[in-house]
């Protein structure tokens, strides 16, 4: 089970996302989790899942799996592979790895059958609504034009997030909405939670940071601040 609020760190395919550097970022995330209790998920490249998952105790997700069953599929990354390597969830349909509509449903259902957490990435409120009908565990709304910009969707286009949350409430309120694209600071995380999402999906803001741990720490503290306010 993934607690919320949640900070999901997508390592993408950066040079910093492999080998020692990959492991260091993952361990920094674990340290912050142990320090703050805030749920953090790391999403390393497929080749790094086994090394990361055997080295840390926080959840490790896969960035993508191919919509195929085990068999004669040279070069494919199956759900069985990432699960075996230690992944407990996966991103589906990231804007850099878009999928066919029919395959998205297949993967969401297969993830559930395999006890893997599914995070479906979408780009607009209407597509988020479509995604809700497919019943993933999480929907991550990321306007592609903001990804990697450092301009948080929560500030640049709050209405995209609000409309996404609204449409999900109408179509399938069981699905939790996460805010992606342009998240780089604790303030961005706080703003995302204020827009009624349950967390953030981010990448370069942490992976390309000079001090990844410091950024993750700041984000986790923003989560604590938000939680204290709503409890208070």
Residues 13 to 32 in contact with a second copy, rule: CB under 8 A:
13-15, 17-19
If we measure between CA atoms, which residue out of 100, 89, 152, 98 comes closest to residue 121? 98
Q: State the Cα–Cα distance between residues 218 and 171, nearest whole angstrom.
A: 34
Q: Catalytic annotation on 64?
A: no
Query: Interface with a second copy by CB under 8 A: which range of 98-106, 156-164, 187-195, 213-221?
Result: 98-106
If we measure between CA atoms, which residue out of 28, 44, 10 comes closest to residue 210? 28
Q: State the Cα–Cα distance between residues 173 and 153, nearest whole angstrom.
A: 22
Q: State the Cα–Cα distance between residues 88 and 56, nearest whole angstrom.
A: 13
**Residue 105 beta carbon to a second copy: minimum distance, rounded to whole angstroms:** 5
If we measure between CA atoms, which residue out of 3, 29, 28, 25 comes closest to residue 14? 25
**Contact call for residue 68 and a second copy (CB under 8 A):** yes
**Contact call for residue 96 and a second copy (CB under 8 A):** yes
**Contact call for residue 203 and a second copy (CB under 8 A):** yes
Comparison of 17 and 217: residue with beta carbon closer to a second copy = 17
**Residue 53 beta carbon to a second copy: minimum distance, rounded to whole angstroms:** 10
Query: Which tokens go with 146?
Result: 């903001």
Comparison of 75 and 232: residue with beta carbon closer to a second copy = 75
| Among 36, 55, 78, 185, contact with a second copy (rule: CB under 8 A) | 78
Cα end-to-end span (Å), the chain? 26
Q: Catalytic annotation on 48?
A: no
Binding mask 133-162 for a second copy (x = CB under 8 A): xxx-----------xx--------------
Q: What is the dihedral of CA 121, 29, 46, 181, to 10 degrees?
A: 30
Q: State the Cα–Cα distance between residues 144 and 147, nearest whole angstrom.
A: 5
Residues with catalytic roles: 94, 142
Residues near a second copy (CB under 8 A) are 10, 12-15, 17-19, 45-51, 63-64, 68, 70-78, 80-82, 84-85, 91, 93-105, 122-124, 126-127, 129-135, 147-148, 167, 171, 203-204
């Amino acid at each position: 089970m993934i607690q919320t609020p949640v900070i999901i760190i997508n390592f993408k395919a950066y040079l910093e996302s492999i080998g020692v550097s990959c492991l260091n970022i993952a361990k920094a995330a674990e340290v912050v989790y142990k320090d703050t209790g805030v749920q953090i998920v790391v999403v390393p490249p497929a080749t790094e899942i086994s090394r990361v998952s055997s080295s840390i105790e926080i959840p490790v997700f896969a960035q993508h799996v191919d919509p195929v069953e085990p068999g004669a599929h040279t070069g494919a990354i199956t759900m069985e592979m990432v699960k075996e390597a230690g992944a407990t969830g996966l991103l589906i349909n990231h804007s850099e790895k878009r999928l066919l509509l029919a395959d998205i449903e297949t993967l969401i259902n297969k993830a559930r059958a395999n006890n893997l957490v599914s995070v479906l990435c979408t780009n607009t409120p209407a597509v988020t609504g479509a995604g809700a009908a497919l019943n993933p565990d999480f929907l991550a709304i990321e306007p592609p034009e903001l990804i990697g910009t450092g301009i948080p969707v929560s500030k640049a286009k709050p209405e995209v997030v609000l409309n996404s949350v609204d449409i999900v409430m109408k179509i399938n309120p069981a699905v939790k909405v996460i805010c992606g694209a342009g998240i780089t600071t604790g303030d961005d995380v706080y703003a995302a939670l204020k827009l009624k999402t349950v967390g953030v999906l981010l990448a370069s803001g942490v992976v390309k940071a000079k001090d990844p741990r410091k950024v993750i720490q700041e984000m986790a503290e923003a989560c604590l601040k938000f939680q204290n306010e709503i409890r208070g």
